[in-house]
Amino acid sequence: MTGPYPPASRRALLRAAGLSAAAAGLPGVAAGCSARDRPAQVAVVWSSQELALFHEVLRGYPAPVEVLSVGDDIDAFLSARHRAGTTPDVAILSQPGLITDYARRGWLAELPDDLGTSYAEDWRDLLRVNGRLYGAWVKAAFKSLFWYQPSIVDSEPQSWEVLVEQVSRMGAAALSHPGAPAPLAIGAADGWVLTDWFENVLAALAPDGLYESLAGGEPGWTDPAVRQSLDLLAEVWSRPGAFVGGPGRALLTQFEESVIQVTTGRAAMVFEADFVQAVVDAFRRPGQPAPKPFKFPVIDGVRPVVVGGDAAVVLRGSPRGEALLRYLTGAYAFEPWIRAGGYLSPNLGVSTDRYPAGLARDLAEDMAAAPLLRFDLSDRLTGSFGGADGLGMWQILQDFFRAVTAPRADTAGAVSDTVRRLDRAARQAADGAYR
């Protein structure tokens, strides 16, 4: 077998992918142009090495596919395409909240239930709206990792207190010795990086039911656990010398650059998910040491585990979208990415022994052994509250970062203001007004 389907299934896929788009009135097909000549379109947020690996995945598909790499704000892209009547056939979204929004607007094709049977119930439920399935998972992310340079960090901090102590000590050294590495890199220009920090701390501190309640859109942001989480973030972010170039520079630093700061030794540690590995592989020069991962430190006796994921949806009116989606959710479709590393699947049909030995296999086994407990909170929120560049929770956390790292910062005031803003935004989103 040369791909994820036997020959008969590949022929069936090819026939499905070649259904007449012109007959369906789809835009983008020239008059007289065969539907077979028009490639299916799939919109993704991936870029760089992840995008290259996705192209490798699509080599096994028996029909042409055009990949549209649209950046983090895929919502803005899809909204503009919807208004223009030129939506792609498939979109791969990292925010279940967007899938809920789109399904309610009638933008998505309902999917048959058999497309959800390869996933645990908790994963399936995230993609259901009013009991109907509108998406299928193609990738997972383990979002509770730090990456560090062993030549700079002599021991992995296993508790939050030790992490803060290391950042404080190394920050002081960086300020007194020009050229010394900063303890932390952070891509604060990407608001989702800051929400990932917050979600891990909250996952450790939240009493039973609070995390899920907030993720479900209920306005409980005044809970003491939210305030305590912000206090702890301020404790580490405000340490003098914590970041490469200072906190102002950190707010201009994007995720990929933050990883490069660690691979080049300008910073000792960076927090982010297992997909850091793809950035390391893409940008690390020969001879440069590779960062090593450790799991998020323990807070109050709890080591948080937060996961995320990317799900494929079919835009309504696309006759070839389901064929492409069925391919992408096959147990062997992402084999090239699995072999390359930096990929995890929530698909129960993907055996953990197919991952390279080491981090990927360890994380895959962790995910397979436990039910989904904490899925990325901001990704689950609906409307703009969930986040986009300059909006919602992303923007609120960026403003908080700016406030607590400012000279003579009023940390208590910044925490109180952030709690009020989060609670107000949640209430507005619940009323349908936060857009």
Percent of the chain past pLDDT 70, that is, above it, reads 89
- Could you tell me which residues come within 8 angstroms of residue 273 by beta carbon, excluding any fewer than 6 positions away? 141, 142, 143, 144, 145, 196, 308
Q: How confident is the model at residue 370 (pLDDT cuts 50, 70, 90)?
A: low
Q: 164 pLDDT exceeds 70?
A: yes
Name the phi and psi angles at 37, rounded to 5: -80, -15
Q: What is the pLDDT of residue 373?
A: 66
pLDDT digits (tens, 9 = 90+) for 396-408: 999 999 999 999 9
pLDDT digits (tens, 9 = 90+) for 93-107: 999 999 999 999 999
Q: 77 pLDDT exceeds 70?
A: yes
Task: Extract the tokens encoding 24.
Answer: 């369906």
pTM: predicted TM-score of the whole model, two decimal places? 0.86
As a whole number, mean pLDDT of residues 61-79 equals: 93
Q: 383 pLDDT exceeds 60?
A: yes
Angstrom distance (rounded) from CA 285 to CA 277: 14
Q: What is the pLDDT of residue 161?
A: 98
Angstrom distance (rounded) from CA 59 to CA 33: 24
pLDDT digits (tens, 9 = 90+) for 285-342: 888 888 999 999 999 999 999 999 999 999 998 889 999 999 999 999 999 999 988 8
Are β-strands 182-185 and 145-148 bridged in parallel, bridged antiparallel, or unpaired?
unpaired
As a whole number, mean pLDDT of residues 144-162 equals: 96
Q: 387 pLDDT exceeds 60?
A: yes
Q: How confident is the model at residue 37 (pLDDT cuts 50, 70, 90)?
A: low
What domains, with CATH codes, occur in the chain?
A: 7-142+307-369 (3.40.190.10), 145-305+382-430 (3.40.190.10)
Closest Cα partner for 159 from 304, 294, 303, 298? 298
What's the full length of the chain, in residues? 435
